[in-house]
Each structure stands twice: as C-alpha cells, then as structure tokens.
Amino acid sequence: MNEPMTLERFEHLADAYGGVVARWPQDERDAARTMATKPEAILILARASALDEALDAWTVPAASGALRERVSATMPAPPRDILRRARLWWSGVGIAAAVAGAAVGVAAVAMLPPADAPPGLATSFGDVGPQER
C-alpha cells in the first residue's frame, strides 16, 4: 500500500537523488509523483533539477579503442577443456557431414535407375517387374 508522502520527505528525496523522480527509490515513486503536482513540490524539483544540470557539465572522455584492447589482452586464455570441447564439436560436425553425405549418395543411387532400364519398373538394384519362372 502506498502511504501519502509528506512534503518534508519529498524534499529530502529531491535533495538526495535530484530532480528526476524516476531515479528515486522505486517503492516511493508513486507517492512522490502524486506529491509532484503540488506547487511547493514543483519548486523543489526545479531546484534539484538545476543542480543536476550543473553537475552534468562534468563530462569525461570515453574509453579509447587502445584501452579496450589493453584490457581485453588481460583476459586469460580459455581453459584447455573448452578448447578440446570446441575441437570435438567441430570434428563431430565434420563426421556428421560425412555420414549425411554418404547417406544422400546411397539414397540417390537407390532411386536412380540405370540409363537402359525400362521406365517405371527399374531401380539401380534391378528390375522390379514380374519375375520369370
């Protein structure tokens, strides 16, 4: 349940967290938004926002690409079992591809009749027409 917020608490939160209610403690935001419509609260928020804006003037340069590289270079090498698993995985992929290729080849041979077979009755393993006695 949300208790109504006192103006004193509202001012304390603005003094601490600044003029953006979304940055205040989550469980107090709804009550704060209700309070924020009152003229005294509007003044409090405006004063806090002015300080926020002044503080935002202090910017610092972003991380350079060279630093990112330097930091990334400190990463330890992946453990051997990860590399081994990766190699196993890729060799598994290779074996699976070879088996699949062989299966497709066998199926193709089974389905394609010899060139000289009568149409509709022959497979690559022979004629499936009526047998002679």
Partner 1 sequence: MDDRDPDAAMIERVGRGEPAAARMLVAAKLPRILGLARRMLRDATEAEDVAQDAFVRVWRTASAWEPGRARFDTWLHTVVLNLCRDRLRKRRDVTGDTMPDTADPGPDAETGLIRAERSGAVATAIAALPERQREAILLVHYQDLSGAEAASALEISVEALESLLARGRRTLRAQLGRSQEGEG
Distance CA 99, CA 87 (A): 18
Distance CA 53, CA 40 (A): 20
Q: How far is the CB of 12 from partner 1 (least distance, A)?
A: 6
Q: How far is the CB of 104 from partner 1 (least distance, A)?
A: 33
Residue with Cβ nearer partner 1 (57 or 111): 57
Residue with Cβ nearer partner 1 (59 or 131): 59
**CA atoms 12, 18, 21, 26: torsion sign:** negative
- Amino acid present at 94: G
Residue with Cβ nearer partner 1 (1 or 55): 55
Footprint on this chain of partner 1 (rule: CB under 8 A) = 12-13, 15-18, 23-26, 47-48, 51-52, 54-55, 57-63, 67-68, 70-72, 74-76, 78-79, 82
The answer to whether the beta carbons of residues 24 and 11 sit under 8 Å apart is: no
